[in-house]
Amino acid sequence: MRILVVEDARPLAEVIAEGLRDQGMAVDVAHDGLDAAAKLDVTAYDVVVLDRDLPGIHGDTLCQMITERDGRATVLMLTAAVSPGDRVSGLTLGADDYLAKPFHFPELVLRVRALARRRPAARSRVLRAAGIELDSVRRTVSRDGRPLDLSVKEFAVLEALLHASPAFLSAEDLLEQVWDEHADPFTNTVTVTISRLRRKLGDPPIIATTPGVGYRITDPTAAPG
């Protein structure tokens, strides 16, 4: 899940970003509307956590710009204004949800996940393939009924592969979906994470690798053909 946090208060932006990363999300940060608009031009985000009062381009204008895009991200608007009129005006601009500051972080996480599932191409809450069952809300995963203890990145990689199954995801695809804009495209972090994930998933192996193409989930019990 790829998230853009747009918040000009840098300490708050970093707290939100790190908290969402701890939940397995890939998070980019922009501190003004101009930077946010530039990031939106090059990256497809699932959810934008958008502060309303922004320098550069105001949050209201940025929200309208997002709304006009094809396959747009959903928008969770943040604001210090708490009156019903403020909430209505924010939603009228095209925001999908609205959260007043200060807020409880667990509520923010739940709202972000709910908005991601509302997108037209959103992934299901529970993903199943090859004996694997992954619940993206409860953050649980099992194989043939056996619970697995995965790290945040291992969980996110498996979620991405299950969502794409039976198609391949390249290392670049996984960097885009699971890490963030600071990920080094020349690093071996994807290879290392896949290796650790394979060990935890156990035998028979279900993550296939095709050189030059990428990774995908395969079902060892499926009949060939």
Query: What does the domain layout of the chain look like in residue ranges?
Result: 2-118, 126-217
Mean pLDDT of 9-28: 93
Predicted confidence (pLDDT) at residue 225 exceeds the cutoff of 70? no
How far is Cα 171 from Cα 181, in angstroms, rounded to an integer? 14
90 confidence band (pLDDT: 50, 70, 90): low
Q: State residue 82's pLDDT score.
A: 59
CATH of domain 126-217: 1.10.10.10
Note whether 186 and 200 are within 8 A (CB). no
How far is Cα 33 from Cα 56, in angstroms, rounded to an integer? 5
Predicted confidence (pLDDT) at residue 123 exceeds the cutoff of 70? no
Note whether 50 and 108 are within 8 A (CB). no
How far is Cα 132 from Cα 148, in angstroms, rounded to an integer? 10
Cis peptide before 166 (omega within 30 of 0): yes
Q: State residue 92's pLDDT score.
A: 66
Look at 156 and 124; give whichever has higher pLDDT.
156
CATH of domain 2-118: 3.40.50.2300
Mean pLDDT of 140-167: 92
- 9 burial (CB, 10 Å; 0-12 / 13-18 / 19+) is middle
Read off the pLDDT of residues 42-59 as tens digits, 9 standing for 90 and up. 888 999 999 988 999 999
Mean pLDDT estimate for the chain: 86
Predicted confidence (pLDDT) at residue 102 exceeds the cutoff of 60? yes
Residue 20, strand partner residues = none
Predicted confidence (pLDDT) at residue 14 exceeds the cutoff of 70? yes
